[in-house]
Structure 1
Amino acid sequence: MPTSRSGDGRTPAAAVSAVGLRKSYGDKTVLDGIDLRIPAGSVFALLGPNGAGKTTAVKILSTLITADGGQAQVAGHDLAADPQAVRAAIGVTGQFSAVDGLITGEENMLLMADLHHLSRSEGRRTAAELLERFDLLDAAKKPASTYSGGMKRRLDIAMTLVGGPRIIFLDEPTTGLDPRSRHTMWGIIRELVSDGVTVFLTTQYLEEADELADRIAVLNNGKIAAEGTADELKRLVPGGHVRLRFTDPAAYRSATSALREVTADDEALSLQIPSGGSQRELRTILDRLDSAGIEADELTVHTPDLDDVFFALTATTVPARNTRNTQPEETVR
């Protein structure tokens, strides 16, 4: 995805930055001094289990609540010193739709236009453009209560865009949507970023973060457990391997002797070799097979995915038996 850069072409401009953000409720610390830096024109995903503090972070950065400590800037404005300027620059869509089901989709849009102090003509033009963009024109005159979950989500984001925000906070925007509606929402988010909008996304769908985010942070017990690109995070977790399957028992036995550090499954006639999945490692394995005159019938590569990363980094919040790939899937003998 494209990332906006500052005028010197070297350092990405920060749409959102935070240092040492803290928030507690009573004796429960929800955010324990987190740091964030989100380049303009990118998608940043904040992952974490329920109760990790994702929504609290969004509420602080969107001025809905105040932090107990730390500093933050959003769209170049200090969160504490100029919250009104922050509000003018952002849009927020929460886990639950802000759509009023008693009025039509068009009326919801016009209500938002009034809240942004747009003139009557400008409000109608903006509403019509956004309803068309989000494929809601045919339903514009119908009560929003008749909309499907996906339509309500699209209307919710369309309403968020009425004021032309350059930074949008999407707090679990696809919760409760079916797979088709979720993919539609992904397309909308990609379009927003292609227009230069910065998206701060919280989600529990690991596939969603993998598909959309330029950078991902995993929040656990109020702290950032890890941050980086999806590929960088995946490299944090062991467990990658190559699996070879044979139909000829003789070839299977020969391969077992020819290869090193294998885990053998005599019943399935398969071998598992620890590997990061790089081209060099694969070539080494294949060269050893070729040298011995052996051909595998099937070769598959497993590399850790975001599920593995998530379970490894949040292991204290799930039963130990579910911390899947903090070790390789099978013990190497």
Structure 2
Amino acid sequence: MTNPAIAAGGLRKSYGDKVVLDGIDLRIPAGTVFALLGPNGAGKTTVVKILSTLIPPGEGSGPIGVGGHDLATEPQAVRAAIGVTGQFSAVDGLITGEENMLLMADLHHLSKAEGRRVVAELLARFDLTEAAGKPASTYSGGMKRRLDIAMTLVGNPRIIFLDEPTTGLDPRSRHTMWGIIRGLVAEGVTVFLTTQYLEEADELADRIAVLHRGRIAAEGSADELKRIVPGGHVRLRFTGPDAYRAAALALADATPDDESLALHLPSDGTQRALRAILDRLDAAGVEADELTVHTPDLDDVFFALTDAAVPAPAEEAVR
């Protein structure tokens, strides 16, 4: 990660006495999805606005690089490298989908022929060709969101900021949007995603950061974050009572379930932890018929890290 798509050190922002961002560090590799999670008002949109040059960083912020360009000295180069899809649609409902796209082509100074070629390709890619001549006000929520992202792609950005892109969409439209995002990343595009849907971050993100009280409370892959929250366990089930009793003797720290002939052991689900359990069974000459690993989900992580009554476990955070 010698040349990250986005790099920021000590990102700060305050409004009067209210500190919104209190020293955020980011380093995001090119061609990946980075998800920023946090409660309402945590500052997710503020981060996007700063990195996309819409508002200046706060006093005391460190250097910020986006697309290989310095945000402070090369803002125009940063803008040329990025695309932004905000929380609220930029689609003009009074004109057609195609006219919205052509307007973006004009703003990117594409020639008339090039603009029409790019627009036609993107309309087809986002399954909007048939509706292209209809007023955008007649589009469904999912169609408007697809058009919104298609408009963002007119300038062929290599970094895209998606600020809660699936809020308000039905499950089918949300899954369609996920497919679009995966397709962009497969082409080498870097996606900076903010979302309140934890399933979305789990599905899409290579790395996830949880923003709480102006700081990154934890950062890592979905699996890494799940392992920092207590509650993970391994369930071993046996079909025969003799094997079950022998395993219970070998694994004295397990919680037995006599009715289902199962044992539950606390575990973080890592390969090392599983091997230790299996080695103990092997030593006792016992083999489990079923082994299931249960780990906390991102909901558990989110609540543990953002509960106002519980300090964020920064010392345990995965970095």
Structure 2 length-normalised TM: 0.87
Contact residue 144 and residue 152 of structure 1 kept, 8 A: yes
Alignment length (residue pairs): 310
Corresponding residue SS for 1:225: strand
**Distance 1:282-1:83 versus aligned 2 partners, 3 A rule:** closer
Give the match's secondary structure for 1:107. helix
8 Å CA contact retained: 1:136, 1:155: yes
Q: How does 1:92-241 map to 2 (within 5 A)?
A: 92-241=84-233
Tell me how far apart the structure 2 counterparts of residues 204 and 267 of structure 1 sit (CA, whole Å): 40
- 1:13 matched residue in structure 2: 3
Do 2:227 and 2:269's aligned partners in 1 also have CA atoms closer than 8 Å? Answer: no
Distance 1:141 1:47 in 2: 37
Q: Find the counterpart in structure 2 of residue 86 from structure 1.
A: 78
**Can you give the 5+ residue segments of structure 1 that lack an aligned partner in the other structure?**
1-10, 327-333
Q: Is the 8 A contact 1:45 1:209 kept in 2?
A: yes
Q: C-alpha deviations, 1:169-220, integer Å up to 9, x for none?
A: 1111111122222221111112112222111111122222222222221111
TM-superposition CA deviations, 1:15-45 (whole Å, max 9, x none): 2111111111222111011111112222211
Task: Find the counterpart in structure 2 of residue 38 from structure 1.
Answer: 28
Deviation of 1:117 after TM superposition, in Å, equals 1.8
Q: 2:290, 2:222 → 1: CA distance? A: 28
Residue range with higher mean Cα deviation, 21-30 or 202-211: 202-211
Cα contact 1:12–1:40 (8 A) shared by 2? no
Q: Could you tell me how far apart the structure 1 residues matched to 2:8 and 2:224 are?
A: 22
Q: Does the 8 Å contact 1:52/1:219 carry over to 2?
A: yes
Cα deviation, 1:268-294, whole Å, max 9, x if unaligned, reads 654311123344544554565566676
Tell me the residue number matched to 1:53: 43
Amino acid at match of 2:149: I
CA contact (8 A) 2:208 2:221 kept: yes
Please name the residue that 1:7 is paired with. Answer: none
State the distance in 2 between where 1:215 and 1:281 align. Answer: 23
State the identity %. 80
Deviations 1:115-171 (A, max 9, x none): 112222221111101001111111111121222221111110000011111111111
Moved more, 121-130 or 277-286: 277-286
Q: Which amino acid aligns with 2:178?
A: W
Q: Distance in 1 between matches of 2:23 and 2:279?
A: 50
Q: Which amino acid aligns with 1:203?
A: T
- Verify: 1:75 aligned to 2:67, yes or no: yes
Any idea what the Cα deviations from partners look like across 1:231-272, whole Å, max 9, x if unmatched? 332333332211234676676555433322112345665431
Q: CA RMSD in A?
A: 2.5
Cα 1:285–1:38, aligned 2, differ >3 Å: closer, same or farther? Answer: closer
How far, CA to CA, are the matches of 1:283 and 1:200 in structure 2?
36
Worse-matched range after superposition: 33-42 or 79-88:
79-88
C-alpha displacement of 1:221: 0.6
What are the ranges of 5 or more consecutive residues in structure 2 without an aligned counterpart?
none
- Cα gap change, 1:285 to 1:42, in 2 (>3 Å): closer
